Amino acid sequence: MHVSQWQNIVVGGGVIGLMSAYLLAEAGESVCLVEQGQLGREASWAGGGIVSPLYPWRYGQAVSALAHWSQDFYPSLAERLLRSTGCDPEVQVTGLYWLDLDDEVDALAWARQHGRPLAQVPIEQVQAAVPPLGDGFARALYMAGVANVRNPRLIKALRAALDQLPNVTLLEQTPISSFMRDGERVVGVLTAGGELRSQRVVLAAGAWSGELLATLGLKLPVEPVKGQMILFKCAEDFLPSMVLAKGRYAIPRRDGHVLVGSTLEHVGFDKTPTEQALASLRASAIELLPALADAEVVGHWAGLRPGSPEGVPFIGALPGYEGLWLNCGHYRNGLVLAPASCQLLADLMMGCEPIIDPRPYSPAGRLG
């Protein structure tokens, strides 16, 4: 049996695990990141990368606090990663139009309360700003500062940043079977290749976090929620802004790709793309942007989001299991909330002043 010792083991190689590992390593800690498959190829790869919750006013203050911190931080994070690795995460400010919302009044009240620049705009203004928009929409809200990040490129940049650090070990294709304990303390993880020991373990395994905690007899209310997306190839200037209507969104990338998503399906850990979802997403895309009827669908995939109650992630130490920390359950907002979630976790683990009040995310009292 091979036994190794680090200060921290991070379980899960999505954006939450990668960024958690990065911040801990930057603080001088030794880190081993353990991923059951390939780094960043689950929900972090599959999502759209809008740097905002789809409907921020439908979430509570806990999600808003993380989202606002992250939105302000993303541009500088992208610049820093580009400078240090040469990989550009392509954080692109395009603004976002919401069309024909049922809860427009609530949205505007939320914006006033939080000081966010969300405003009603005439539909004629939207049609002028977004020429390919379909007819049949009557009302619009717009927020100018909303960005999107090209999530596969963000994953690539984070991996490259970790590869440069001498105090980081990355283990892919390494599923863990259980946590190792010494009395009440968690002292590592057990893999098919042997024991990996550490002073602390961070569980950041997304939709799989609940299954892993169940090995300790704990019930974490995090479950997989399948989401399917499609990708069109268009001219680079085809779509100047993100648009969202009837629960579906279109996101432009710098090179002309347009991403359309997404479904919400409770089907366990099944990630198989379906013809039914493809047809539904394509119909939504054409209703939003009729010219997409003639555009090529160059990609169709599915991912599993880590669904959680009210979408509030679990961030912090797990009482009764000394050495075990959680950073999971971000539901639809993992990419949006990652910078703040991981900074909050690092602050708590390193004994620093936390960036925001950590109490809403504490695992204490929130597990079954």
Rounded distance, CA 216 to CA 212, Å?
Answer: 8
The partner residues of 170 in beta bridges, in order of sequence, read: 33
Kind and range of the H or E run holding 60? none
160 pLDDT more than 50: yes
Under a CB-based contact definition with an 8 Å cutoff, are residues 306 and 222 in contact? yes
Q: What is the mean pLDDT of residues 23-50?
A: 97
Which tens digits make up the pLDDT trace of 257-272? Answer: 999 999 999 999 999 9
- pLDDT at position 3 is 56
**Residue for token digits 């990996």?**
196
Under a CB-based contact definition with an 8 Å cutoff, are residues 11 and 201 in contact? yes
Name all domains of the chain by residue range, CATH numbers in brackets.
2-47+154-221+309-361 (3.50.50.60), 96-144+223-307 (3.30.9.10)
121 pLDDT more than 50: yes
Rounded distance, CA 79 to CA 87, Å?
Answer: 10
Which tens digits make up the pLDDT trace of 164-198? Answer: 999 999 999 999 999 999 999 999 999 999 999 99
Phi, psi angles (nearest 5°) of residue 65: -60, -45
Under a CB-based contact definition with an 8 Å cutoff, are residues 274 and 230 in contact? no
DSSP letters, 177-197, are: EEEEEETTEEEEEEETTEEEE
What would the two tokens of residue 27 be? 């603080």
DSSP letters, 89-114, are: ---EE--EEEES-TTHHHHHHHHHHH
- pLDDT at position 132 is 98
User: Of 71, 152, 131, 333, which is closest to residue 225 (Cα–Cα)?
Assistant: 333
Rounded distance, CA 78 to CA 275, Å?
Answer: 35
- pLDDT at position 1 is 38
109 CA to centre of own chain = 26
Residue type for 366, please? R
Q: What is the mean pLDDT of residues 230-253?
A: 97
User: Of 43, 28, 7, which is closest to residue 337 (Cα–Cα)?
Assistant: 43
218 pLDDT more than 60: yes
Kind and range of the H or E run holding 241? none
Rounded distance, CA 101 to CA 107, Å?
Answer: 9
Under a CB-based contact definition with an 8 Å cutoff, are residues 329 and 312 in contact? yes
What would the two tokens of residue 240 be? 């100047």
What would the two tokens of residue 36 be? 């059951």
Which tens digits make up the pLDDT trace of 244-260? Answer: 999 999 999 999 999 99
- At a CB cut-off of 8 Å and minimum separation 6, what does 63 contact? 53, 56, 310, 311, 312, 333, 337
Which tens digits make up the pLDDT trace of 291-325? Answer: 999 999 999 999 999 999 999 999 999 999 999 99
Kind and range of the H or E run holding 93? strand 92-93
pTM: 0.96
What would the two tokens of residue 72 be? 């302000």
Rounded distance, CA 368 to CA 3, Å?
Answer: 32
- pLDDT at position 97 is 98
Which tens digits make up the pLDDT trace of 60-119? Answer: 999 999 999 999 999 999 999 999 999 999 999 999 999 999 999 999 999 999 999 999
122 pLDDT more than 60: yes
Which tens digits make up the pLDDT trace of 77-91? Answer: 999 999 999 999 999
What would the two tokens of residue 87 be? 């990989």
DSSP letters, 10-56, are: EE--SHHHHHHHHHHHHTT--EEEE-SSSTT-SHHHHS--BSS-SSG
Under a CB-based contact definition with an 8 Å cutoff, are residues 189 and 53 in contact? no
Q: What is the mean pLDDT of residues 350-357?
A: 98
